[in-house]
Chain A
Amino acid sequence: MNFKRLRQAFTRPASQENDSNDELRFHLEKEIEKNIASGMSPDEARRQALIAFGGIQQTRESLREVHRGRFFEALLQDLRYGWRMLRKSPAFTIIAVVTLALGIGANTAIFSLIDAVVFRSLPIPDPSGLLIFQWRASHGPETHGYMNFGECEDQSDQAHPFGCSLPLPFFREVEAQNNVFSHIAGFASWQDLDLSGNGPATMVRNLFVSGDYFPTLGVRAYTGRLFVASDDRPEAAPVVVLNYGYWQSAFGGSPSAIGKTIKLNGRPFTIIGVTEPKFDALTLANKYDVWTPLARRPDLIPHWRERNDQMDSFWILVIGRVKPEVPVEKAQAAVSLLFRNEMIKGVNKPVFKAEYSPSIELKSAPRGMGGSQKSTLQPLYVLMLCVGVVLLIACANVAGLLLARSTSRQKEIAVRLALGAKRGRIIAQLLTESVLLSGTGGLLGLVIAIWSAKALVTMWASHSYRPMTLEAHLDWRVLAFTAGVSLLTGFVFGLAPAFRGSDIGLTSSLKAGNGDAAMGTQKRRGITSGGILVSVQMALAIVVLVTAGLLVRTLNNLKSLDPGFETRNLLLFGVDPRLAGYKGPQIDNLYRSLQEKFSALPGVKSTTYSWMPLLSGGLSATSFHRPGTPIDSKDQVDADVLPVGPKFFATMHIPILVGQDFTEADFAAAALNGGDKPGSAPTPVIVNQLFVKKYLDGKEPVGQLFGDANPDEPGDPTYPGYRIVGVVGDAKYNQLRREIMPTFYQPNIGGDAFFELRTAGDPTALLPAIRHIVGQENPDLALFRISSANEAIDRQLVNDRITAQLASFFGMLALLLACLGLYGLLSYEVTRRTREIGIRMAIGARSHNVVRLVMGKALLLIAVGAIAGMAVALGVTRLLTSFLYGVKAGDPITLLAVAALLALVALAACYIPARRATKVDPLVALRYE
């Protein structure tokens, strides 16, 4: 093989340029030499030589053209030739293209989703200049309250805490300093609002914003106007801005909405404008219907306390833009210092101790407001792994097809070589064919990707309460990814066959006969490259199948989990009377009244309510001194808390093990303690079994006392603490995956609540009657988050379910491809060795001998592939640990089951070629070569 020619085939233009320059320079030097030798002086010699030399630039340009033209000419020629060759074998081409399309398409689809989640930039001018404030410290803060509404990635209770929620006074101070920031704004979502005055009362998603919010973002009004600083004053008129989408759906896009007065939680607000259509929100899956000024929060948030405006209540998020002449680091240092000083000072004691080094970071907003990104991204990464492996299998498959096909092209290639073609050119041409294949596969794959990405998003979105504003669309990144993957794929599967295919001993292949130098199996009985490819495919298929298997088992474990209460035939819905103007005892009276009326409905077995329904995602927890220790003990423990209404445990089918359910007196005592002047009697609570086991040390539970934390907080009334009146079975609280914690239940007083109705039949069938009852009670009461308990649980499992389904689908696809590869290889073997089989049968071999001959290799390949696959899977699945539940990454049962499945299907794939081998007629086989 001529290495030099090969090298020349791939020489880069730059080195070519250098070569040409060197060559011309040598020529000039020789000319000068000649002139000197014939008597000229060195200067004259040089001058004459240059004259004789002529235009060197023109020469350089001509040389360049010679080389450049050749490259494109060659490329075009290769493309045309390749296209012709592919058309000649349509079956091969179609199979290869479809295989590649599936692999590339799947990868592109998943990538476009990841792209949409990660790279989606905000539809505002200069998104990178928008910064969000994030606090960071070595230890969590001592707050009066910490609210996180899911806007931003928040780890306030973890090892290296950080978060976006900040205290209002700090925000106001930063706002007042206008030497560093050109724009600064604060916002918080807090809770939904009850909107009435525009048809039936509905709940709307609201964001409280400061006056400079819209200018900070750079959002403009579509019609009307948006907030200015003067709107965000307590004495300003109450105004509200609508989301474009909400304005379209709720107000029909009518211009008359501007200036209209509607009621939010019963209070009149004037609509002053609508935001431009392309802006919906700052984070991914949140979509706001309305915006109201921060100053209006005492009006709209029930039980708003002045206490919330102190330096130790964290709830507001702050964004801003620095002035052009101020570097970001300087701004960050300034606000960080301010924050540190304020936090160390605190209110009555430090929020952050000095040694915790509290600081503020100014993060780029698009990246800082991850919000729900992580939960959406992680399953996508798992899927990306699966489709990546599937693509590798597809490549191996097509490479195998190409290797087999190159056998039939040997004559053609041998002739070309004999005629003087350089091997490098032939390899280039074969590679061009491969890239042509993968490029076509990529185009088809793009179509598949667009369709499947849409389907995926729809699947995901249909299970959320909040509509996902995730759109997978074609942007340049996705197209570049597809093109890149197609090109790479073409090289990956085309390179080896191209080298093999052009490495031919001329004489042997030009002779008539089954030349198979490419497969290299003439006399060798060992593992061939085709065989290696098949084994690799088997191994990769096992990796995907094991992943899928683990995810499916996780899903099953979660679905069959016993949450500690009965989930069937349970209707859930929420209601917030405070938004309709109810206060204090009115709320509880309403709840009792509704509870009675609901229970009276035919088809309703039992009714109750609670602060949050179980397994809804909401969680409330508290810490207190250990039961049995003095109230000011420093030994603090944690427990989950759930306020519940009457008959909660009976309705939810949670067994009461010791003691009894709450009585009316218990509710009265709790009501007293929940008001402004707590009584002296402790609040009655019911604890779960785990609480007893962990905190009571075998003591008799009923009658035990324990109390709230922070008895040394001056200014707060002394808490009367809690008294245990009963023990119930353990039940999950907010999430299936979260372990059950020690929990205590207390009587629900006031506030918003979720009703739970145990029904005889289909829960949702009772909705019209429910609505009627509520509407009769008060037309301004809106119901929200209506679903059956099973539906709510299903929603929690959406990610798990989709991931498991898709992984299984890809696993099956991988298995299919791998077995097709095996089938193809064996078929080829049988065809190739027909003569040999014929001879063996003629001298007395039986069917089973022939089968063993054929299958021997297959079994070896399957075995090697399976073992290698399991080994790789053990390593890879360790990455999955955070997704799994109830099953370990290295679970042997799953591994063995998958290996068995693979072996079974693979053996089935061997069946047809093996049968064909036994059907060989020795006479026919020996007659032809």
Chain B
Amino acid sequence: MGDQIELLQGTLDLLILKTLALEPMHGWGIAQRIQQISQDVLQVGQGSLYPALHRLEQRGWIGSEWSTSDNNRRAKFYSLTRAGKSQLEKELGEWERLSAAIALVLQQS
């Protein structure tokens, strides 16, 4: 399982937006997907996931809809909005610039 890494709120938002860019998903699905793809490094607890989801929804970057899940239970599905898509691109660009800059600094050893 490895040590839990603290995720900054902004970073979590980016991960959520990216995850939803593929397809609409409910909260539990998003957490599972992030955990799987990061090979269990990033485990998002419900305590940070749902506040983030609600904040993103208030900002209008994701939308929600109650629907039935695969096992016929009621769940809230989130999807990326048009505004969210442009926000995702913006943040991806920033993230790349940021990580490139940090890598440059760290290379100087």
Give A820-860 as 1s and 0s: 1 = Cβ < 8 Å from B's Cβ atoms.
00000000000000000000000000000000000000000
Q: Once the chains bind, are A54 and B69 in contact (CB under 8 Å)?
A: no
B27 sits at the interface (CB 8 A): yes
A912 sits at the interface (CB 8 A): no
Which single member of B46, B65, B66, B71 contacts A27 (CB below 8 Å)?
B46
A381 sits at the interface (CB 8 A): no
Which single member of B26, B51, B58 contacts A59 (CB below 8 Å)?
B51
Given A19-B76, A22-B76, do A66 and B55 touch, yes or no (CB 8 Å)?
yes
Q: Once the chains bind, are A4 and B63 in contact (CB under 8 Å)?
A: yes
Q: In whole angstroms, what is the CA distance A79 to B63 when docked?
A: 27
B45 sits at the interface (CB 8 A): yes
Shortest distance from the beta carbon of B43 to any chain A beta carbon, whole Å: 9
Find the B residue at minimum CB distance from A34. B32
Question: In the complex, what residues of A have CB within 8 A of residue B28's CB?
Answer: 26-27, 30-31
Q: In whole angstroms, what is the CA distance A581 to B50 when docked?
A: 95
Which single member of B58, B69, B82 contacts A66 (CB below 8 Å)?
B58
Residue among A5, A23, A63, A70 with most chain B CB within 10 A: A23
Q: In whole angstroms, what is the CA distance A74 to B69 when docked?
A: 33
Q: Once the chains bind, are B73 and A29 in contact (CB under 8 Å)?
A: yes
Interface residues of B in 39-56 (CB under 8 A from A): 45-47, 50-51, 54-55
A923 sits at the interface (CB 8 A): no
Give A39-83 as 1s and 0s: 1 = Cβ < 8 Å from B's Cβ atoms.
000000000000011111011001100110010000000000000
Q: Once the chains bind, are A420 and B83 in contact (CB under 8 Å)?
A: yes
Q: Once the chains bind, are A62 and B76 in contact (CB under 8 Å)?
A: no
Q: Once the chains bind, are A422 and B60 in contact (CB under 8 Å)?
A: yes
Interface residues of B in 54-109 (CB under 8 A from A): 54-55, 58, 60, 63, 65-66, 69, 71, 73-76, 82-83
Q: Once the chains bind, are B65 and A23 in contact (CB under 8 Å)?
A: no
Q: In whole angstroms, what is the CA distance A58 to B51 when docked?
A: 11
Given A31-B28, A66-B54, do A26 and B47 touch, yes or no (CB 8 Å)?
no
Q: Once the chains bind, are B69 and A26 in contact (CB under 8 Å)?
A: yes
Find the B residue at minimum CB distance from A19. B76
Shortest distance from the beta carbon of A35 to any chain B beta carbon, whole Å: 13
Question: In the complex, what residues of B have CB within 8 A of residue A420's CB?
Answer: 60, 82-83
Shortest distance from the beta carbon of A426 to any chain B beta carbon, whole Å: 13
Q: In whole angstroms, what is the CA distance A33 to B72 when docked?
A: 14
Q: Once the chains bind, are B46 and A53 in contact (CB under 8 Å)?
A: yes
Shortest distance from the beta carbon of B63 to any chain A beta carbon, whole Å: 7
Q: Once the chains bind, are B74 and A59 in contact (CB under 8 Å)?
A: no
Question: In the complex, what residues of A have CB within 8 A of residue B46's CB?
Answer: 24, 27, 53-54, 56, 59
Given A26-B26, A26-B69, A422-B60, do A55 and B76 touch, yes or no (CB 8 Å)?
no
Question: In the complex, what residues of A have CB within 8 A of residue B26's CB?
Answer: 26
Which single member of B47, B76, B82 contacts A23 (CB below 8 Å)?
B76
Question: In the complex, what residues of A have CB within 8 A of residue B47's CB?
Answer: 54-55, 58-59, 62
Interface residues of B in 13-46 (CB under 8 A from A): 26-28, 31, 45-46
Find the B residue at minimum CB distance from A422. B60
Shortest distance from the beta carbon of B75 to any chain A beta carbon, whole Å: 5
Q: In whole angstroms, what is the CA distance A492 to B15 when docked?
A: 45
Which single member of A26, A31, A66 contacts B51 (CB below 8 Å)?
A66
Q: In whole angstroms, what is the CA distance A30 to B32 when docked?
A: 10
Shortest distance from the beta carbon of B14 to any chain A beta carbon, whole Å: 18
Which single member of A52, A55, A63 contacts B50 (CB below 8 Å)?
A63
Question: In the complex, what residues of B have CB within 8 A of residue A23's CB?
Answer: 27, 50, 75-76
A20 sits at the interface (CB 8 A): yes
Q: Once the chains bind, are A26 and B45 in contact (CB under 8 Å)?
A: no
Given A4-B63, A31-B28, A70-B58, do A26 and B50 touch, yes or no (CB 8 Å)?
no
Question: In the complex, what residues of B have CB within 8 A of residue A59's CB?
Answer: 46-47, 50-51
Find the A residue at minimum CB distance from B58. A70
Residue among B47, B74, B82 with most chain A CB within 10 A: B47
Question: In the complex, what residues of B have CB within 8 A of residue A67's CB?
Answer: 54, 58
Other A-B pairs, 6, CB within 8 Å; known A5-B60, A27-B50: A19-B66, A19-B76, A24-B46, A27-B46, A58-B47, A67-B54
14 contacting pairs across A/B (C-beta < 8 A): A19-B66, A19-B76, A20-B54, A23-B27, A24-B50, A26-B27, A33-B71, A54-B46, A62-B47, A62-B50, A63-B54, A66-B55, A420-B60, A421-B60
3 interchain residue pairs of minimum CB distance: A420-B83, A30-B28, A62-B51
Question: Chain A residues in contact with chain B, CB under 8 A?
Answer: 4-5, 19-20, 22-24, 26-27, 29-31, 33, 52-56, 58-59, 62-63, 66-67, 70, 420-422
Question: Chain B residues in contact with chain A, CB under 8 A?
Answer: 26-28, 31, 45-47, 50-51, 54-55, 58, 60, 63, 65-66, 69, 71, 73-76, 82-83
